Structure 1
Amino acid sequence: MGLRDNGTIGQWNYGTMELCDCGTMEQWDYATIPQWDYVTMGQWNYGTMELWDNGTMRQWDYATMGLCDNATIGLCDNGTIGQWEYATMGLCDNGTRGTRGQWDYATMGLCDNGTMPQWDYVTMGLCDNGTMPQWDYATMGLCDNGTMSLWDYATMGLCDNATMGLGEMGLGDNGTM
């Protein structure tokens, strides 16, 4: 994943794994996962999962993570969620809930008007009012009041003080990348 010796996200090497339109191997652009072949991965736009030189995330293209030009599972240029394809996730072209966009409560827990309903505690661990409940420590490492607790080092590589630990994710003791 391009981690530097100091644990930060590094620049991707020039010359690895990009697919050309013809499906052959091509060079990667500097510090980015670039355009994929339309047939191979659904026409990813330049900027898909692109990292700045300092390792931070750049703006995602509108069609990032989408399989089509209609921005299926699309993100806007500013990184916000874009308009979802109606047939894919049940949203109208303007991103609002449509008639066929009403999700089954059991499937995604959305009410007919698209708002969040009461989630099943067992499913997503949310209380009836939609707030975070008391999570099982072993499951998500949250305290009874819903705040972040001490994570198990072996599970997520976090130290007892909830900072990022060394080893599991290649992170420094102080939580830096």
Structure 2
Amino acid sequence: MASRRHGDYWQHVLDLVFLIGVTFKAIDGLGEILIGIPLLFITPAGVTNAVHHLTARELAEDPHDLIANLLVHGVNHLAGSDLRLLGIYFLVHGIVKAAIVIAIIIGAIRVYPWAIGALTALTIFQIVELALHPTISVALLTVLDIIIIALTWREWREHRSLRDTARETWRWLRPAPARS
């Protein structure tokens, strides 16, 4: 493990951002798996009915609600094959992210280059998707992925496991004991 000066504020901030980013990637991966599985089996009519049911009350209160209108508009253009492809995309994307996070959590530093490569491939796919169908959510996700790639490379270069980073960050965040 590379040594660090304890007073280096920005190093600790980057460590904290890395830990938060890995946590978000874990949540994101799990969410994509949980979304992807049902999309493999649901019909477009089922999705349309569910979205109309979920947004009916909100649209009754505010017919101009942006999110509800985007959801309703989006599901009205779905086809069965689109749902299955979307389900496969979410499932693969989520499984890759979950596997990367699990490997990083168990301290497999040798997995970091694979994680960087897989996240880079997924990010390139997102950039293509962003060029074809620009959305704020994909743009934000892409920026987050680029930050996580850079911070994972940093951790790998310093030969630090997630546990090492978490331990050092926890010591930094914990208030110093009061002196008597």
For normalisation by structure 1, the TM-score amounts to 0.20
Which one has a larger percent helix, Structure 1 or Structure 2? 2
